[in-house]
Structure 1
Amino acid sequence: METQVHRFTWQGIEIEATYTPLKWNVIAHLEIHSIDPDRAPLPITETGYRSHFHEPGTIEAHGGDVVAQMVAWLDEEAESKAWKSYVEASRQYSLF
């Protein structure tokens, strides 16, 4: 299987996800990075970039829709206290 590149918008952030179903003939690889705004933090990465290795066939076993699974992962992690605190702090102006 060939590498797939997907672009989508999540909560106003444009994201690019590159999915390689079989890398080095042993593992699957997903690269996620925010592209607009560039390097915007995401609930799964403070830097706007994440490299994630997982067992081959995992995405396919859950329907094969990379974008739907990415959105579900982001939505799930967005429920964390840390992300909610980040969102709240980014809405407020800091004087210091």
Structure 2
Amino acid sequence: MEKHIITWRGIQIEITFTPEKLGMIEHIELHAENRLALPVTETGYCSHFIPIGSVAQEGGPVAYVTAWLDFEAERTRWSGAQLTLF
């Protein structure tokens, strides 16, 4: 298991990467500081299972998560963690 901490668009995110979990898949967990929303989770936590080799193809867990967050932010036109009053 690997742990990394990144800052993405001003949000500190802890990445936990488990390669070849159960011999069939890889697993990534994200924990955003203060449970701030991310384009892949409204709660600040995400558990994500992916095919073996996906993370290595992207250049490692940090590169994979950064590309994933950037892609989803662009796709959803995510503008950051916003609170709504109504």
Alignment TM class, shorter chain as reference: 0.7 to 0.9
User: TM-score scaled to structure 2, two decimals?
Assistant: 0.84
What number of residue pairs does the alignment pair up?
85
Q: Distance in 2 between matches of 1:72 and 1:32?
A: 14
For 1:10, which of 8, 11, 15 is the aligned residue? 8
Mapped partners of 1:62, 1:27: distance in 2: 16
Higher RCO (CA 8 Å, separation ≥ 6 residues)? 2
- How big is the alpha-carbon RMSD for the aligned residues of Structure 1 and Structure 2? 2.1
Counterpart for residue 34 of structure 1:
32
C-alpha deviation, 1:90, in angstroms: 3.0
Stretches of structure 1 lacking an aligned partner (at least 5 in a row): none
Secondary structure, in 3 states, of the residue corresponding to 2:67? helix
Structure 2 residues without counterparts, runs of 5 or longer: none
Query: Separation in 2 of the partners of 1:90 and 1:48?
Result: 13
The answer as to 2:39 corresponding to 1:47 is no
**Secondary structure class of the residue paired with 2:7:** strand
CA distance in structure 1 between the partners assigned to 2:61 and 2:49 by the alignment? 14
Q: TM-score, normalised by structure 1?
A: 0.76
Looking at structure 1, the residues matched to 3 and 38 of structure 2 have their Cα atoms a distance apart, in angstroms, of 18
Q: Secondary structure at the match of 1:51?
A: strand
Runs (4 or more) in structure 1 with deviation over 4 Å come to none
Q: Percent identity?
A: 47
Deviation at 1:11, TM superposition (A): 0.9
Distance 1:90 1:58 in 2: 31
Structure 1: which amino acid aligns with 2:62? V
Q: Is 1:60 matched with 2:56?
A: yes
**What does the per-residue CA deviation read over 1:23-56, in whole Å, with 9 as the maximum and x for residues that have no partner?**
1222110001102xx1100001001011000111
